[in-house]
Amino acid sequence: MTPPLLSDRIASLPKAELHLHLEGSIQPATVCALTAHHATVTIEEEVRRRYAYRDFPEFIEAFKWVTSFLREPQDYALIATDLAEHLLTQRVVYTEVTVSIGVMLLRKQQPEANFEALLRATEPFEKRGLRFRWVFDAARQFGADAAMEVVESAKRCNSAAIVAFGIGGDELSVPTKEFRRVYDRAAQLGLHRLMHAGEVGGPEKIREAIELLGAERIGHGIAAINDPELMDLLAERKIPLEICPASNMKTGVLARQLQREKATIEDHPLPKFLRDGIPVVLSTDDPAMFHTTLNEEYANAARMGLQEEELARIAEMGFEYAFSPAGEGRGA
């Protein structure tokens, strides 16, 4: 258990959250409101049942289910407002939120209209000390052509609030090299480049993301623990890993990467990454779907044995490795 004094210190720190999926932030009560709006009856007990997973594929099925109720711009505005209110309770002052543009396109929606609704919903929160920036996300399993459409959608939206392009989804589906042209186009448009890698896949997926795609941050990346040379590369090039401990536990990927039947939070490689000089930022991934908060993730890091000064350094790195002008969004 985290010492009470340390918990107070964690809670008071101004924070940036950089690996956060908008659609994974939808609380059960909000899911019910969405379903009622679309003439479907869902009770919170059903949502909680679906928000429990034995492995990563089950999580993906739940993600597909909950996003099926996002059909109109006002739906996106609702969940963005809820997320903003939640982030304020965590002392988050800057966030880069990943939004699943690839799923919108698959469902024949208009990303530009949905994104405009997101901007309108989150703009008022700047006066309350919370700044939003956005990552346009493609699903790896949809392929390179679909990913390119996500990049072009970012161009059409033409907003400085869109800071990066990334790919999530099924890491073991399409070979990394097939996305090289997509990432070149994202860079041409001035977008930073992200990639989920080394969550389910091995360390080679991380290396490919860096060397083939020019990824500037790695989503998860816990497989690096199995490749000392890759860890040296990450430390030397100062490429951050976006670490999401509760997510890694609840999808079973931590145990998988450690080649164990079960793993505990104390087994997480976060402390080794940090102490070996690899930049790390701490995030919730899908906070509602993994039943966590950013403060709880800092408490998880403390359970791993990190000291107060190390936790404070992680909070500082959240701003240091953000895709924004230096100091933008930083709280006092």
Cα separation of 77 and 95, whole Å?
16
Q: Is the pLDDT of residue 288 over 90?
A: yes
pLDDT for res 171:
95
Under the banding of pLDDT at 50, 70 and 90, the label for residue 298 is very high
The percent of residues in the chain predicted with pLDDT above 70, rounded, is: 95
pLDDT at 6 over 70: no
Mean pLDDT of all residues belonging to the chain: 93
Please give the pLDDT value at position 54. 83
Q: How confident is the model at residue 224 (pLDDT cuts 50, 70, 90)?
A: very high
| Amino acid 251: pLDDT | 94
pLDDT at 329 over 90: no
d(CA 86, CA 83): 5
pLDDT of residue 4: 55
Q: What is the pLDDT of residue 331?
A: 47
pTM for this predicted structure = 0.93
Convert 112-148 to b/e letters by CB count within 10 Å (16 or more is b).
bebbbbbbebbeebeeeebbbbbbbbbbbbbbbebbb
Given pLDDT bands bounded at 50, 70 and 90, which one contains residue 3?
low
Question: Under DSSP, is residue 294 helix (H, G, I), strand (E, B) or coil?
Answer: helix
Is it the case that residue 124 has pLDDT exceeding 60? yes
327 pLDDT more than 50: no
- Categorize the per-residue pLDDT at 47 as very low, low, confident or very high, splitting at 50, 70 and 90: confident
Say how many CA atoms lie within 13 Å of 261 toward its Cβ. 0
pLDDT score of 51 more than 60: yes
| Tens digits of residue pLDDT in 169-204 | 999 999 999 999 999 999 999 999 999 999 999 999
Q: Indicate the helix (H) or strand (E) that contains 99.
A: strand 92-99
Kindly report the CA angle at 157 between 213 and 98, in degrees rounded to 5?
A: 55
Looking at residue 311, its pLDDT comes to 95
At 5, the pLDDT band (50, 70, 90 cuts) reads: low
Q: What spatial distance separates the first Cα and last Cα of the chain, rounded to whole Å?
A: 28
CA dist 115 and 292 (Å) reads: 26
Residues that are catalytic: 199
Give domain 4-320's CATH number out of 3.20.20.140, 3.90.1010.10, 2.60.40.10, 3.30.56.10.
Answer: 3.20.20.140
Averaged pLDDT for residues 162-166: 98
- Per-residue model confidence (pLDDT) at position 46: 86
pLDDT value at 330 more than 60: no
Domain residue ranges of the chain, discontinuous segments joined by +: 4-320
